[in-house]
Structure 1
Amino acid sequence: MVEPGTILCVSEPFAHVLSNKEHDYRCENCMKRADELKRCSACASVKYCSTKCQKSDWSIHKKECPCLKRFQPKIPTDSTRLLLRLVIRFNNSSTVQESKGVLALRRSFNNLMSHEKEITNDKNRCDQLSQHLFTLQKVTAGVIDLPSSRVLLQIFGKMTTNSFTICGEEMQPIGVGIYLGPSLLDHRCTPNAVITFQGKSLHLRAVAQIADPTPSNVFISYIDQLNSTAERRRMLMEQYYFKCDCSWCQDKDLEISMHAIKCPDKACVEGFISLTDDGAMLTSCFVCGQSVSDHKFIQTAFGLEEECRGCLEEAKRAKQLNDPERILNMCESCLNQNKDILHPLNLSCVKILDCSFDASVDLQLWDKALMYGSETLPAYRKYYPPNSPNLGIQLLKLGKIHLYIHNLKEALKLLQQARDILLVTHGRDHVLYSQLLELLDQTQEEMRTELEFDS
């Protein structure tokens, strides 16, 4: 039996790459932030925080370096670089790696499933592979002999279905890696374990009691749970080629609330009716029981969900252009359109609120950030499993803003809630948890000072 917060295993990557957008801020090897980074003098594409890290990465970078140099001033995509590194490491593919911890995870790269048949029948994946191979052939010509097309297909398949997104201090993506032992773990939308990272080191922790912590009894979520059942299943099928039938996916009540529409009766504040994934309508309010027969209202509600999804796609493009003002304007316009129809638990509405929250933070519009961020919390608590790092970090972000604008009581409450979650998901030795304790100390000290001043 293991309790929530127990470290189940710690694993190092078989191969990893730092995201191109992080090259100016983090070390290529350890992936930790550093004030001073030294660029590789040969390829000028990667940076290291120390000679130690440069030497540690040299066994693979010495073969990668001339390839990157040939491609200057361009840099291959993150996925192409990872594929290149896996090709370089291919001679070690039979080497068994073992994770450290109570969970015995032993695996070699050869043990990974490649899903050759599924990928061969998947046009999108075949197109991706062709693009990768075009770049690989260009950068490796005369430097590295590529394996056969069949072997490249196998390596690509193993990479795409076994990659872990490496996350930074606040769960933001900073790179991607292949972790052999943890790739044994199966998916559940309600996992009993979560993965966090300290640099490139993967830490797997229990978030619920696990009676028998063996690989077949420990589950992680491969995807973000803040999606409808149909969307989660689509993502899992497209990325990993399986259909999930976990308890979360079979929870009809949960699915109903994900498409919630406000009850037309304005007096029924908490009530809602619902669209389902196939566009059908459940036409009675779940609180007051009122039937809805207004077809125009139904069509408008369904159309607004589609408009929200379109707005989110536009926001993604604006985010790539680093344009938070445009994101906020689009999202606020969308929210104004749907505020009288879509319920706050509606996933489309929640995602628009999340985008508005992030854009407001980027623009330092603290009052708006608190308003939008606070409105996401009921949905975060409902749709993320207990002890979710996503909820913990959302609470931490809101607590930091309250502290910044000196709303000390609210800051203390939110930071304490974040602490209870992050202690389980990240542990005492994680930099994020240490930062959180410092914020709590600061909040309590400012509250004491305020009381002394008042008295």
Structure 2
Amino acid sequence: MRCSGCTKVWYCNNSCQKTDWDLHKRECSALRRWAKKAPSDDLAIPSDAVRCLGRILWQINSKGHNSDWAREIQAMQSHRKSIQSSSAEFPATLEAHTHLAHSIVHYLGLSSPAELQEFGVTSAGDLVDLISRFITNTYALTSPSLTPLGVSVSSLVALINHSCAPNAVVVFPRNDKSKGKKEPIMNIVALRDIAPDEEVLTAYIDTTLPRSLRQEALKETYSFQCQCTLCEMPTGTGIDPREAVWCPKSCGGMCPLPNEENQVSRCTKCRAAITDPLAVIDAARIGREALGKATNLQFSDYNKAKQLTINVIPILVSAGLTPSCHPFLALLKLHQSLLVSSFSARLSQDILDEAIRASAKHSAGLSAILDEGHPVRAVALAELGKLLAVDEPAPSSSSQPSLPQTNNAFPPSGPARVKIAYETLLQARKELVIGFGRDNDGGEVGRSIRDIIVSLEKELGVWTTGIRNALEDIPKKPAKGTSG
């Protein structure tokens, strides 16, 4: 259901639209006013941050400056004092706050920040505090499959501290409506048993990133240096798969990813040294640059973005980067997404198979750095399983029931592919139940995977019957010493 007034906001159904009307009636006018002044269609809708801040201020105005709801927002942590002191190191942070301040005034239809008094903002400091609280305490609002949809703020969830090795996650699983549960709902799900008096910790950032990038993101946005078990791991105790290269002697071990400061890198298993560390450093740099360009181009120039990933991934493979290593992991994910879009537009066995290979490498990379049951890892496994379960546009001749598979190429064809899909989805289902909650039955994704598993069980049964019948139809050779 689309709002007929602003034509920008969509709803699940009439009931959803009616429930939101008290807030949206003010948002509706603001969106129409914004669209009239927008210089282009691309800017006809304000950012999620502006829209969310608008809803917060309208709620404060509606419920009262001293209401419990307003006090909960005001009690959230602000980093106003550290913004100015760190402006030289992170100028983008100050710029983002300034831009948001101007945008929210414009969005509310005001002429200056002084007119924000009716929303409980009585000074420039109050406005900076509001924006800082929003930026510091915002969570990504995602679909059940973790696709970003917007932003959300919860004063209760904001009390949870950060760790790059979290024991809990924030998810929006979409509950089973047949059980009478309300929607939408934010869940905090434990990834493992949490002992009494043990702190509940979630991750504020993408924990697949290497330590230096995680620390930079946390310092810039949240003004602290992380000292979690992952960030404070003593040197010599192991290797972080996020910054790893395969052993040059192929012993199965890994080497730390070399860098300009430390070019010497040896395998932790056989102690073989990387002979050309500068080539590995250059490959990683090319990968980072390509990732940035392809990410920016994926919606505006899809073909160029796909070609970038196609060109650069072999360079990273040749350099020996493991699938869990940054930026290889992120490029694999983007490459997979672009291939799936290609496959949707043009059914091709080659594109499907390449998407499966990219998905398999991406899933393997995540499995090396994320705990079993982490939603990101679980959803990646589900995506791989679903790709394997897609009907093949042009299956190879070796997929015929009467002919055995003659090579070990991945992915296989026919019943072998169905079997791998089934096994992958069983593991995905197990992990989805952890990551999205047992009470939620793995969320909407977990329930959909359960249905696919049932379908594959039937398909495997058909394949098994077909093979058995084919074998029974083959004439048996007479035993030696007898006449046929």
* Structure 1 counterpart SS, 2:318: coil
- Alignment of 1:434 onto 2:447: yes
**Could you tell me which amino acid in structure 2 is paired with residue 78 of structure 1?**
D
Report the CA distance between 1:437 and its aligned residue: 0.5
Match of 2:206 among 224, 228, 232: 224
Match of 1:448 among 451, 461, 474: 461
Alignment of 1:180-199 (within 5 A): 180-197=155-172, 198=174
Match of 1:259 among 229, 239, 243: 243
Measured in 2, the distance between the counterparts of 1:437 and 1:186 equals 34
Q: Is there any run of 5+ residues in structure 1 with no aligned partner, and where?
A: 1-36, 98-106
Match of 1:280 among 234, 237, 262: 262
Measured in 1, the distance between the counterparts of 2:376 and 2:273 equals 36
Of structures 1 and 2, the larger Rg is shown by 2
- Which position in structure 2 is the counterpart of 1:44? 7
Aligned sequence identity (%): 21
* Structure 1 counterpart SS, 2:207: coil
Report the CA distance between 1:278 and its aligned residue: 6.3
Match of 1:141 among 109, 124, 145: 109
Report the CA distance between 1:40 and its aligned residue: 3.7
Distance 1:322 1:424, change over 3 A: farther
- Which position in structure 1 is the counterpart of 2:377? 391
Distance 1:87 1:249, change over 3 A: same
Report the CA distance between 1:348 and its aligned residue: 2.1
Report the CA distance between 1:76 and its aligned residue: 1.3
| Count of aligned positions | 402
Distance 1:143 1:39, change over 3 A: farther
Distance 1:275 1:281, change over 3 A: farther
Alignment of 1:45-444 (within 5 A): 45-73=8-36, 74-91=44-61, 92=63, 94-96=66-68, 108-121=72-85, 122=87, 123-141=91-109, 145-146=115-116, 147=121, 148-197=123-172, 198=174, 200-212=184-196, 217-251=199-233, 252=235, 255-265=239-249, 268-275=250-257, 279-292=261-274, 294=275, 297-321=276-300, 323=302, 325-344=303-322, 345-364=324-343, 365-404=351-390, 405=392, 407-426=417-436, 427-428=440-441, 430-444=443-457
- Maintained 8 Å contact 2:373/2:433: no
- Maintained 8 Å contact 1:207/1:424: yes
* Structure 2 counterpart SS, 1:347: coil
Distance 1:245 1:282, change over 3 A: farther
Measured in 2, the distance between the counterparts of 1:305 and 1:61 equals 46
- CA deviation map 1:298-330 (0-9, x unaligned): 11111111111001001111113161x322321
TM-score for both structures, normalised by structure 1: 0.82
- Which position in structure 2 is the counterpart of 1:26? none
TM-score for both structures, normalised by structure 2: 0.77
Measured in 2, the distance between the counterparts of 1:284 and 1:173 equals 39
Report the CA distance between 1:384 and its aligned residue: 0.9
Report the CA distance between 1:173 and its aligned residue: 0.4
Measured in 2, the distance between the counterparts of 1:50 and 1:332 equals 41
Report the CA distance between 1:202 and its aligned residue: 0.3
Distance 1:454 1:211, change over 3 A: same
* Structure 2 counterpart SS, 1:273: strand
**Could you tell me which amino acid in structure 2 is paired with residue 227 of structure 1?**
L
Distance 1:143 1:48, change over 3 A: farther
Q: Is there any run of 5+ residues in structure 2 with no aligned partner, and where?
A: 37-43, 175-182, 344-350, 393-413, 469-484
Q: Report the more deviating stretch, 434-443 or 243-252.
A: 243-252
- Maintained 8 Å contact 2:432/2:443: no
Report the CA distance between 1:255 and its aligned residue: 4.7
**Which fold has the larger relative contact order, with Cα–Cα distance below 8 Å and residues 6 or more apart in sequence?**
1
* Structure 1 counterpart SS, 2:383: helix
Report the CA distance between 1:429 and its aligned residue: 6.5
Structure with greater proportional strand content? 1
- Which position in structure 2 is the counterpart of 1:16? none
Measured in 2, the distance between the counterparts of 1:94 and 1:387 equals 42
